[in-house]
């Protein structure tokens, strides 16, 4: 993260005459003489690549999706049906766009599923990550926190297909048998909590997807937050202790607020991963098209999971309309991700009003 650069301990600083930064005349080969312009221009080009990449992806997606956008219309966002239509009958033309007869697409369940599962993921991952980061930096002795911290990073490196496999083979069935019924049968039957009642299924669905996603983003949020906590200077924390605050109060009022904007950034990073995570969700969501999960355990799907699971069959649509529709769904996902990042930037700007600049005091 944005830690202060390590310039070594003061003892290691060599003293002596400082060589001039730019010798009057360059000696050496062509590479050496080109170093400075290469640096300057290479840097400028490199800094534009992310922007160019983003623009390129969005433009390609938009172009690919354009036929679908015209036919599906704004109702795409609110309809639930996902009906590729008949590939055997003669295609029909709507507004100049050829598509299979009877095709009708609605992305609402995909959008809802994406937002719901990512919301659950962040809700689960944030407290676990903050707790883990806090324990690793403040509580555990070094001989324990170093290997444990290493495992957090290892978890981040496990391919999502493996976590998905574990989710669908072990975690989902276990939860459906032993945990979900406990919740479903004991949650009061009132407004929002009603969503936690009802049939608990076989372990593939919204809750399992959210938990698997949560597990996948814990390492992202936890390792970033741990690095942030390490940057909080000891003096304000000591000030809190000396005032008679408990450790929990020091954490809540001083340590966490000190790096609040960084934690928001880490959370958005994790949220972005959750929104776009594909294969693990495709494995544990139940991949049911056309319906929003009836309760928190219900089967569902997300935009990303739908794109990957439907791409094969979409390719069989000779009119190309099914692929265009998937591109449109992808465009929506990209817009959601960008919107989340922009919103996070806004939150950071608002909440960092009182926060101390990292590295001060």
Partner 1 sequence: MVDEVMRSTQRPEVIDATLAALDPDRDRPPSVMEVDSLTLRFGEKTILSDVSVAFPRGTVTALIGPTGSGKSTFLRTLNRMNDRVSGFRHDGDVTLDGVSVWAPHQDLLSVRRRVGMLFQRPNPFPMSIRDNVVAGVKAHGIAKGRQLDVVAETRLREVGLWDAVKDRLGESPFRLSGGQQQLLCLARALAVGPEMLLLDEPTSSLDPGSTESVENLMRQLTPALTLIVVTHNLGQARRVSQSTILFYDGRLIEHGATSELFDAPRDPRTQRYVNGLMG
Considering the complex, state which of residue 165 and residue 356 has its C-beta at the smaller distance from partner 1: 356
Q: How far apart are CB 254 and partner 1 at their closest, in Å?
A: 5
Q: Residue 358 Cβ, how far from partner 1 at the closest point, in Å? A: 10
Residue 55 or 246 having the CB closest to partner 1: 246
For partner 1, the closer CB: 229 or 321: 229
Would you tell me which residues interact with partner 1 (CB under 8 A)?
A: 235-236, 238-246, 249, 253-254, 257-258, 260, 353-357, 360-361
Q: Which is nearer to partner 1, 147 or 357 (CB)?
A: 357
3-state secondary structure the chain: CCCCCCCCCHHHCCCCCCCCCCCCCCCCCHHHHHHHHHHHHHHHHHHHHHHHHHHHHHHHHHHHHHHHHHHHCHHHHCCCCEECCECCCCCEEECCEEECECCEECCHHHHHHHHHHHHHHHHHHHHHHHHHHHHHHHHCCHHHHHHHHHHHHHHHHCCHHHHHHHHHHHHHHHHHHHHHHHHHHHCCCCCHHHHHCCCCCCCCCHHHHHHHHHHHHHHHHHHHHHHHHHHCCHHHHHHHHHCCCCHHHHHHHHHHHHCHHHHHHHHHHHHHHHHHCCHHHHHHCECCCCCCCCCCCCCECCHHHHHHHHHHHHHCCCCCHHHHHHHHHHHHHHHHHHHHHHHHHHHHHHHCCCCCCCCCC
Q: Residue 94 or residue 231: which is nearer to partner 1 going by CB?
A: 231
CB of 5 to partner 1, least distance (A): 22
Q: Of 16 and 357, which CB lies nearer to partner 1 in the complex structure?
A: 357
Least gap, CB of 3 to partner 1 (angstroms): 18
- Minimum distance, C-beta of residue 229 to partner 1, in the bound complex (Å): 13
């Amino acid at each position: 993260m944005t830690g202060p650069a390590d310039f070594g301990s003061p003892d290691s600083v060599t003293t002596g005459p400082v060589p001039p930064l730019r010798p009057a005349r360059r000696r050496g080969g062509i590479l050496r003489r080109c170093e400075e312009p290469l640096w300057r221009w290479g840097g400028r080009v490199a800094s534009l690549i992310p922007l160019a990449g983003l623009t390129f992806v969005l433009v390609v997606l938009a172009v690919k999706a354009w036929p679908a956008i015209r036919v599906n219309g704004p109702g795409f966002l609110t309809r639930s049906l996902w009906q590729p239509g008949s590939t055997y009958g003669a295609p029909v033309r709507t507004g100049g766009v050829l598509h299979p007869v009877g095709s009708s697409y609605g992305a609402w369940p995909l959008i809802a599923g994406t937002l719901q599962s990512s919301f659950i993921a962040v809700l689960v991952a944030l407290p676990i990550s903050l707790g883990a980061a806090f324990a690793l930096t403040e509580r555990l002795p070094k001989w324990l926190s170093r290997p444990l911290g290493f495992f957090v990073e290892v978890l981040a490196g496990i391919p999502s297909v493996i976590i998905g496999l574990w989710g669908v083979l072990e975690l989902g069935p276990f939860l459906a048998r032993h945990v979900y019924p406990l919740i479903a049968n004991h949650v009061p039957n009132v407004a929002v909590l009603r969503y936690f009642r009802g049939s608990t299924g076989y372990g593939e669905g919204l809750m399992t997807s959210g938990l698997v996603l949560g597990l996948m983003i814990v390492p992202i949020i936890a390792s970033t937050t741990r690095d942030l906590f390490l940057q909080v200077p000891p003096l304000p924390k000591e000030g809190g202790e000396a005032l008679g605050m408990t450790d929990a109060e020091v954490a809540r009022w001083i340590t966490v607020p000190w790096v609040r904007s960084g934690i928001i950034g880490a959370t958005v990073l994790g949220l972005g991963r959750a929104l776009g995570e594909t294969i693990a969700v495709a494995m544990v969501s139940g991949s049911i098209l056309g319906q929003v999960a009836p309760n928190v355990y219900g089967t569902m799907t997300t935009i990303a999971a739908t794109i990957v699971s439907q791409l094969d069959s979409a390719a069989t649509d000779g009119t190309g309309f099914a692929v265009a529709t998937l591109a449109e769904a992808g465009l929506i996902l990209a817009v959601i991700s960008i919107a989340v990042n922009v919103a996070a930037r806004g939150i950071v700007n608002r909440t960092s009003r009182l926060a101390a600049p990292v590295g001060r005091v």
